[in-house]
Amino acid sequence: MTLSTAVRAVRGSAIRDLLALTARPEVISLAGGLPAADLMPRARIAAVTADVLDDTGPQGALQYGETAGLAALRAVLAGQESARCARPVDRVLVTSGSQQALDLLARAVLDPGDPVVVESPAYVGALQVFQAAGAALHPVPLDDGGMRVDVLADRLRAGLRPRLVHTVSTFHNPRGVTLAPERRVRLAGLAERYGFLVVEDDPYGLLAFDGDPPAPVAAHSDRVVRLGSASKTLAPALRVGWLHGPAEVMAAVELLKQCTDLCTSSLTQAVAARLLADTAWFEAHLRTVRRAVAGRAAAFTAAVAAHLPGVSCSTPSGGMFCWLEFPPGPGGTVTDTAAEEVIVEAVRRLAGAGT
Ligand SMILES: Cc1ncc(COP(=O)(O)O)c(C=O)c1O
């Protein structure tokens, strides 16, 4: 059978392979953005689900809902995003995870061959979406201050005209870094000047271990589509994500969403709406998660320092990612084999020490 050109353009998903591995009971995966299951508010989700089912009657949480999302959830999200972006955000669309937002957005604005700037390294789920849309990918490097916006500016000056620039602005997946405040302002300025859309993919922004991350890129320009998610703060199984941005783009995304799934689950949207609207509970929950994840990150970086000689490890200030750099192998370059040898040696030593 011959499949469509679009399907043939999609590479095998690294995330799907990864999730297949993490489903094995003996594997504790540190590779994907999987929130710790023991930190998910299980009892609270169960109680609120029961309340929602009791309160909303037969036309409520078990029925199809509006494609754009449950009004109560959209209102809560609009309020929170307005506060974060320090400007009124009146139209938020709810999606089935922010991954769907990314996919619908790509389909709404990209034609095959359109240039898209991605970070290097990039969130693999974004790469897959842009490849499926047939985009021409232009990687821009990251450093400790996030995307090298100066490199992007040089490329734009040299003639590159992207439709989209994708950035995981805060606690980057997989690099762990946060886009510096002055780069956020500059990126927003470049979007205005060269007429591209910034996709600010921000599922980790609420997970700062200490203090607040810088204001979103969306605080500095209207040419930003901002993506958010309840996956990392509540639970991925709710499949509640959202986006906001220019009205024309939102209308196109809503139309495409209708073709894809008619609506996001009314039940999980109602649960998310209640949890997010209960600000006292949500803030306390976030404090617990941040404290626990910070402790685990410290234990992880200490273990790398103690057991992986020659391997450098970033010190995360939030989110879920540490970045490790392995020493070069005999040929002077870092290879999978050289990295594997370091790990195998560490495991051997730990086993020998009875750890
Ligand atoms: C940067 C980034 N964007 C989007 C997603 C997808 O999240 P969701 O569960 O909301 O679809 C992830 C998940 O790991 C992510 O790391």
> What does pLDDT average to in each consecutive run of 10 residues of the chain (355 residues)?
74 66 75 89 98 83 95 97 94 98 98 98 96 97 98 98 98 97 98 98 97 95 97 98 97 97 97 98 98 96 92 95 87 73 73 62
Q: Mapping DSSP to helix (H, G, I), strand (E, B) and coil, where does residue 118 land?
A: strand
pLDDT at 6: 72
Choice from 119, 204, 229 to test ligand 1 binding pocket (greatest atom count within 8 A of CB)? 229
Domains of the chain, residue spans:
42-279
User: b/e map of 149-177 (b: 16 or more CB within 10 Å)?
Assistant: bebbbeebeeeeebbbbbbbbbbbbbbbb
What torsion, rounded to 10 degrees, do the Cα atoms 292, 211, 83, 217 define?
-100
pLDDT at 27: 74
Residue nearest to atom 5 of ligand 1 (CA): 99
CATH 1.10.3720.10 matches 42-279: no
DSSP for 299-351, written as a single string: HHHHHHHHHSTT-EE---SBSS---EEPPP-TTSS--HHHHHHHHHHHHHHHH
Choice from 93, 96, 98, 242 to test ligand 1 binding pocket (greatest atom count within 8 A of CB)? 98
Q: Ligand 1 centre from 203 Cα, in Å?
A: 6
Which residues contact ligand 1 via a Cβ below 6 A?
A: 33, 97-99, 123, 125, 168, 173, 201, 203, 229, 231, 236, 241
Q: Ligand 1 centre from 202 Cα, in Å?
A: 8
Please provide residue 220's backbone torsions phi and psi, each rounded to the nearest 5 degrees: -110, -5
Residue nearest to atom 3 of ligand 1 (CA): 201
pLDDT at 1: 75
Cis peptide before 121 (omega within 30 of 0): yes
Choice from 15, 16, 29, 99 to test ligand 1 binding pocket (greatest atom count within 8 A of CB)? 99
